[in-house]
Amino acid sequence: MLSVQNISFSYTSETTISSVDFVLEKVQNLAIIGESGCGKSTLLKLIYGLYDLDQGEIFWNENQVFGPKFHLVPGMSYMKYLAQDFDLMPFITVAENVGKYLSNFYPEEKKARVSELLEVVEMSEFANIKAKFLSGGQMQRVALAKVLALEPEVLLLDEPFSHIDNFRKNSLRRRIFSYLKSKNITCIIATHDVNDSLSFADEILVMKNGAIEAKGTPETIFQNPSSFYVASLFGDVSVVKMNGSTNFVYPHQFQVVQSSDFKVEVVQSYFKGSHFLVEGKFEDQVVFFESLKELFSGEVVFLEVK
């Protein structure tokens, strides 16, 4: 398992990672989420061994992760880390980039392995194209194949689908995470995309200001957010104060009814394809709810929580 034991780290005098402590079982997918600057990328780099810890320890099984003070070439051999800059060589082909770290002693096996990985990331037709001619999304897919080539025990991904078109992203996510499970690869992904965390993660780690704000299964984190910050990471959320309690309610949790004590004046409707997202005003609170039909500014509707 991966054991991160009360680690802290700072680039300067200001602490970037503060007392982070968690355990991740083998072959699990962990999604690290949080606002920009919360420490997601730094945490991945610390787990990989790119920086020296100020405090605490990190272990993968019985192996302790050490930083540059202990390794001439930083990074742990049994891990692979995919940064947001892709690290591709522009003047060699896609296939050569993917097979860069594979042995040349077995050319047929290498060729088959490269072909398999390019199929996983849906880049087979670009095998003989030089990397410099690819789009950003295509480069990202090649970079994913490259870090999978040697089948690491732990894969660290920093926003791995951020440059990929939406129409391809869903299919690629399914293929990648299914492949990781089939190869028993433990994965940690830092992401802003709720589809990465809710659909494919076994656990979610929420970070704020370099510290852990919440940790749990996707269902637990989403359905029972511990704060407005946690809830807001999954989209629009309303803070509803009723009967002396504060509740965090997602738009889909409201329904329009004939009558209730929850009287809302419509501010604006936003078309979402299958429905409208409606911004409304309840007393001095802004609320968001879904409607199958467009509602217009000034209309009054009644809501209740499902």
Digit-coded pLDDT (tens) for 207-218: 999 999 999 999
| pLDDT above 70 coverage of the chain, percent | 100
User: Could you say which architecture CATH assigns to the domain 2-228?
Assistant: 3-Layer(aba) Sandwich (3.40)
Q: Which pLDDT band, with edges at 50, 70 and 90, does 224 fall under?
A: very high
pLDDT of res. 264: 95
**93-119: average pLDDT:** 92
pLDDT of res. 246: 85
Across 63-67, 101-105, 207-211, 219-223, least confident range: 101-105
Residue 185, pLDDT > 80, answer yes
Give 64-80 pLDDT, tens digit per residue.
Answer: 999 999 888 888 989 99
Residue 87, pLDDT > 90, answer no
pLDDT of res. 233: 95
Residues, the chain, total?
Answer: 306
Residue 243, pLDDT > 80, answer no
pLDDT of res. 31: 96
pLDDT of res. 53: 96
Residue 244, pLDDT > 80, answer no
Give 282-291 pLDDT, tens digit per residue.
Answer: 988 899 999 9
pLDDT of res. 122: 92
pLDDT of res. 167: 83
Give 119-174 pLDDT, tens digit per residue.
Answer: 999 999 999 999 999 999 999 999 999 999 989 999 999 999 988 888 888 899 99
* Chain mean pLDDT for the chain: 93
| Domain(s) of CATH 2.40.50: residues in the chain | 236-305
**The domain made up of 236-305 is a member of CATH 2.40.50:** yes
pLDDT of res. 218: 96
Give 15-61 pLDDT, tens digit per residue.
Answer: 999 999 999 999 999 999 999 999 999 999 999 999 999 999 999 99
pLDDT of res. 229: 96
pLDDT of res. 117: 94
pLDDT of res. 83: 86
pLDDT of res. 306: 85
DSSP one-letter string for the chain: -EEEEEEEEESSSSEEEEEEEEEE-TT-EEEEE-STTSSHHHHHHHHHTSS--SEEEEEETTEEP--TTT-SS-S-TTEEEE-TT----TTSBHHHHHTTTS-SSSHHHHHHHHHHHHHHTT-GGGTTSBGGGS-HHHHHHHHHHHHHTT--SEEEEESTTTTS-HHHHHHHHHHHHHHHHHTT-EEEEE-S-HHHHHHH-SEEEEEETTEEEEEE-HHHHHHS-SSHHHHHTTS--EEEEETTEEEEE-GGGEEEES--SEEEEEEEEEE-SSSEEEEEEETTEEEEEEESS---TT-EEEEEE-
What gap in Å lies between CA 95 and CA 105, rounded to an integer? Answer: 17
CA-CA-CA-CA dihedral for 297, 254, 195, 31, to nearest 10: 120
- Best CA proximity match to 164, nearest among 139, 131, 196: 139
| Domain(s) of CATH 3.40.50.300: residues in the chain | 2-228
